[in-house]
Amino acid sequence: MLKKLPKILVFLCAMLLFFGVAGIATATPFTFLTGESIIDTSGTGDPGLEMWATVYSTANNLEFTLAEGMSTTFLFAQVGTYETAVLDDDLIPGDITANLGFDIPALEATIGGTSVGYIDDEVIEFTCIFDYWQGWNLTWEPEKTYSFGNGGVFTVDLTDASFVIGHSFGPDGELGDAYANVYATVTLDKAPSPTPEPATMLLFGAGLIGLTVLGRKKFFKRG
């Protein structure tokens, strides 16, 4: 039994070392917390369609936890125009910039977009009636990737939006709501490496010290 004792000690030390390394290397879910966000529409207007945007209050201070490879989608903002009619000069594109703030991790995701007016007028066949449609389209840049502490990587993607109304109604919504919603999707591509907890480091250290001591004893016995 005494002869087997060193082997048992080696096994126990190896297990301590294994679980210590596993505790350090395992990727854990990450909890995000959004901060204050804005959408800048100052790049729109004559020539072009003057736009407005409002970030939903529910998109601020939003907390969600993602495992590696998982995503979440939430209502981000509503977008519309101040103008009562879309004219030829409103077909010139304008620039819109979304700044989605995060408190955790502490950074700001910036995604650019382009808005442009839309007109479709035609005479309905065999009648003298004009079929007139007007509105706008908003297209965002492809998803953007951001890195944060300890090797973490995540992406942010915004949905494109559009609004079209027919006949003599204006796209500004004077006869009702005239806006489109924008949704944000956050994907955790790579979880950050966790900071080792004291208990994990204790396991790792105990296993390493145990194997070192047993190795030194075996070395001196041979000597």
pTM over 0.75: no
Phi, psi of 11 (to 5 degrees): -65, -45
Sketch the domain layout of the chain as residue ranges. Answer: 1-26+194-223, 30-193
The pLDDT of residue 221: 53
- In order along the chain (223 residues), what is the average pLDDT of each group of 10 residues? 47 44 55 94 93 94 94 96 87 96 95 92 49 86 94 96 73 62 96 64 46 48 53
